[in-house]
Chain A
Amino acid sequence: MTVALDTPRPALSDLVGKTLSLRRRWKLGEVVFWGLTAAAPFLLPRGMLLLNEVAILALFALSLDLILGFAGIVSLGHATFLGAGAYAAGLFALHVNADPLTGLVVAVLAAALLGFLTSFLVLRGTDLTRLMVTLGIALLLFELANSFSTITGGADGLQGISMGPLLGLFPFDLQGRTAYLYSLSVLFVLFLAARRMMASPFGLSLRAIRDNPLRASATGVAINGRIVMVYTIAAAYAGAAGALMAQTTQFVSLDVLEFHRSADLMLVVIIGGAGWLYGGIIGAILFKVLQDAISLATPQYWQFWIGLLLVVFVLGGREILHGLLARSRAALAKLVSRRAP
């Protein structure tokens, strides 16, 4: 094999090197963002419970973004892994050990295993097939959880979970401060990991699979293996979100496996923009704020407005919104780059 390795001219080498390192660097906007989230207990001490929910939803959205935004795999049943993680963590705390971090690890492993096993079902087929298969799996798990109500508590849910203090030091307080900081920390750590993974050769190959599977395999990418990997990772992330949910609210019910969880999540990810790690996080913030506002006005029928939002968004709202965003982003270009991993 003797393809001549010419040396490129120095200016080009420089340019290329700079482009790559620029992408990796933390932008000012990102630093400010995470700084604000860390300072939230001081800035919004009474909103801790809501912010905890936002953090958990953000993590859940991040997990869907990994498969949807980065690998192009659609799923209408991502709540499967949220539920798997939640029940695993809840049952673990009830029957084995109430330490949060141990429970988190157990839940992540359980969800990852489930993700790994079901990943083979989404390898083949069109978008429509995948939507149906993932929906079917979520419904399957729901029925299973419903049927084995002696273990899962059925519609009433798992009662009586009492979490031990975090790291043995910080008990979960009623205002939700520990809960929020716990969820935020997990979100941040997993975000860092995702950032690194999506900026790696593996992440690049995922985007290739998303953009053009034919070309990807013609380039030597073993598509099936990569999909299994990213699907398992995404399931693990969703499982973590589920565990956080179970542990910080000390309650798990069938609601965690309901269809609207997966459907709402889709909206969250596409509002913020799929394929961009901050998309899920921003979408989660917007969604929760919206949900909170709407629920105050019409507590019973807020799904109506969510539905309306979905319809409007898909009918043309997305283009308008993203057009607006693009223009303001051009202005704020230096703060948060769209191509940031």
Chain B
Amino acid sequence: MTAPALQTIGLVKRFGGIVATNDVSLTIERGARHALIGPNGAGKTTLVNQLTGVLKPSAGRILLEGRDITTAKPEARVRLGMSRTFQINQLFQSMTPLDMLLLVLCEQNDLGLKLWQKLDKSGDLAREAAAIAERFRLDDVIGEPITTLPYGKQRQLEIAAAFAARPRVLLLDEPAAGVPEAERRDLLATVADLPADVSVLLIEHDMDLVFRFATRITVLVNGTVIADGTPAAIAADPAVRAAYLGESLDA
């Protein structure tokens, strides 16, 4: 039996007196279309930060395809096949989309330490970057400075860069955040287009996107998993409704 794509076992994160992640055991199967939802402040991004190595958990383990990565550095996890997008665009301000994609591809091909080699010796990487740009509708701005791109394109680039790393596990942190209604379709299409063998964990607030995309949903409230199952099961779960409806009643 093959190990799940990504798994956490009893993950805990404490900030002083606050427990941001409370004994979370999450399993993302291979080829999953798994969504993580929950009200604001539930600790979703904190969880992702632990999964990617930006934050160190207080307790618990993280396994990537069966391999323990709990103490691995972020860059090591990328090399093992994990990639992520950020909730707030994290791009390279001095670069163009072409530069950024080339960077990802170079690192993937272990060229990062080659200081004597031309940036694109064989021309293959440039072609691949161009292909990715086309796929993510960035071909018309591929050579423009990132700072001049409209927000929607920047968001596309954010996802394109994560995708270019040829991940086996992809973590999308609120990809639709700040994207206007009209462009969300494109985004959904992009996310739906991802190859079937890439395991995806999607964190989102947009329920439309979530229910169209996910085959499995985990609900996180105050750092604790309160439900985990198929979209239908989650929609019918009283605890989940209480968490969401309770939220809006209190407001």
Direct contact of A and B (CB under 8 A): yes
Q: Which residue of B lies closest to A210 (CB)?
A: B94
**Min CB gap B85→A, angstroms:** 9
Contact indicator A221/B135 (Cβ below 8 Å): no
Q: Which residue of B lies closest to A205 (CB)?
A: B112
Q: Which of A24, A208, A219, A221 has the most CB of B within 10 A?
A: A219
Beta-carbon contacts of A36-77 to B below 8 Å, as 1s and 0s? Answer: 000000000000000000000000000000000000000000
Interface membership of A137, Cβ < 8 A: no
CB-CB < 8 A to B166: which residues of A? 1, 3
CA distance A208 to B84 in the complex (A): 16
Contact indicator A208/B103 (Cβ below 8 Å): yes
Beta-carbon contacts of A187-220 to B below 8 Å, as 1s and 0s? Answer: 0000000001101111111011011101101111
Interface membership of B130, Cβ < 8 A: yes
CB-CB < 8 A to B86: which residues of A? 214-215, 218
Interface membership of B212, Cβ < 8 A: no
CB-CB < 8 A to B163: which residues of A? 3
Partner of A12 from the list B118, B119, B139 (CB cut-off 8 Å) is B139
Contact indicator A16/B161 (Cβ below 8 Å): no
Interface membership of A226, Cβ < 8 A: yes
CB-CB < 8 A to B74: which residues of A? 217-218
Beta-carbon contacts of B132-170 to A below 8 Å, as 1s and 0s? Answer: 011100010011000000000000000001010110100
Beta-carbon contacts of B92-122 to A below 8 Å, as 1s and 0s? Answer: 1111001100111011100111111111100
Q: Which residue of A lies closest to B143 (CB)?
A: A19
Beta-carbon contacts of A228-245 to B below 8 Å, as 1s and 0s? Answer: 010000000000000000
CB-CB < 8 A to A221: which residues of B? 75, 103, 107, 112
Beta-carbon contacts of B50-76 to A below 8 Å, as 1s and 0s? Answer: 001010000000000000000001111
Interface membership of A185, Cβ < 8 A: no
Total residues of chain A contacting the partner, CB 8 A:
44
CA distance A154 to B74 in the complex (A): 48
Interface membership of B17, Cβ < 8 A: no
Total residues of chain B contacting the partner, CB 8 A:
57
Beta-carbon contacts of A1-43 to B below 8 Å, as 1s and 0s? Answer: 1111111110011011101100010000000000000000000
Q: Which residue of B lies closest to A197 (CB)?
A: B115
**Min CB gap A143→B, angstroms:** 34
Beta-carbon contacts of A272-303 to B below 8 Å, as 1s and 0s? Answer: 00010000000000000000000000000000
Interface membership of B185, Cβ < 8 A: no
Given contact pairs A197-B116, A205-B112, A220-B75, A16 touches B130 in the complex (Cβ within 8 A) = yes
**Min CB gap B232→A, angstroms:** 30
Contact indicator A12/B142 (Cβ below 8 Å): yes
**Min CB gap B127→A, angstroms:** 6
CB-CB < 8 A to A333: which residues of B? none
A–B pairs, 14, beta carbons within 8 Å? A1-B166, A2-B195, A15-B130, A16-B142, A20-B126, A201-B115, A201-B117, A211-B92, A215-B92, A217-B74, A218-B52, A220-B79, A220-B107, A225-B113
Chain A contact residues, CB within 8 Å of chain B: 1-9, 12-13, 15-17, 19-20, 24, 196-197, 199-205, 207-208, 210-212, 214-215, 217-223, 225-226, 229, 275
